[in-house]
Structure 1
Amino acid sequence: MKKRISYTVKYPNVHLDISGHAPDRWGMLRYAIDTAGKDKFLFGSDFPICNPAVYMAIVDSELLSPEEKQAVFSGNFKRLTGL
């Protein structure tokens, strides 16, 4: 996971979808945002084997600021797609 996060720092066009990651890796989200910034991560609910509500609750518990949550849950997608 740290290697993937490093790519978001090195390459401006690389972003990561955080949905579907194993719950034991969720501590990495705080590290990822501290390392690469809130604008590099998105939550995509289309992962076919997880309950989005469970993962949203995990993200919600990651000690993210309201601005970071807004970016991860919708702002980054809107910015990247021009919505």
Structure 2
Amino acid sequence: MRLTHKLRNWRFGLCFLYLRNVKGYPRNHKRVYRIYRELELNLRIRPRKRLEREKSQPLAVPVAINTNWSMDFMHDQ
């Protein structure tokens, strides 16, 4: 518990790895997570920022028949 007060932005993953690798506690990650939740140490999940997309431009409408041509590329092996 002192670990999460000292390093408040550490989430469960960092706390578990610190306990296992540095402190040498050979505990199961599920057991550690259960205790982590019971002590109400879990942090809220922040919502992701939405990316603003640019508005798509409308397709060009042909004025007459056969005015727009396109090319189709094929790759032969």
Q: What range is the shorter-chain TM-score in?
A: under 0.3
Query: Quick check: which one's strand share is greater?
Result: 1
TM-score, scaled relative to structure 2:
0.27
Query: Quick check: which one's helix share is greater?
Result: 1
TM-score, scaled relative to structure 1:
0.26
Q: Which has the higher contact order (CA 8 A, sep 6+)?
A: 1
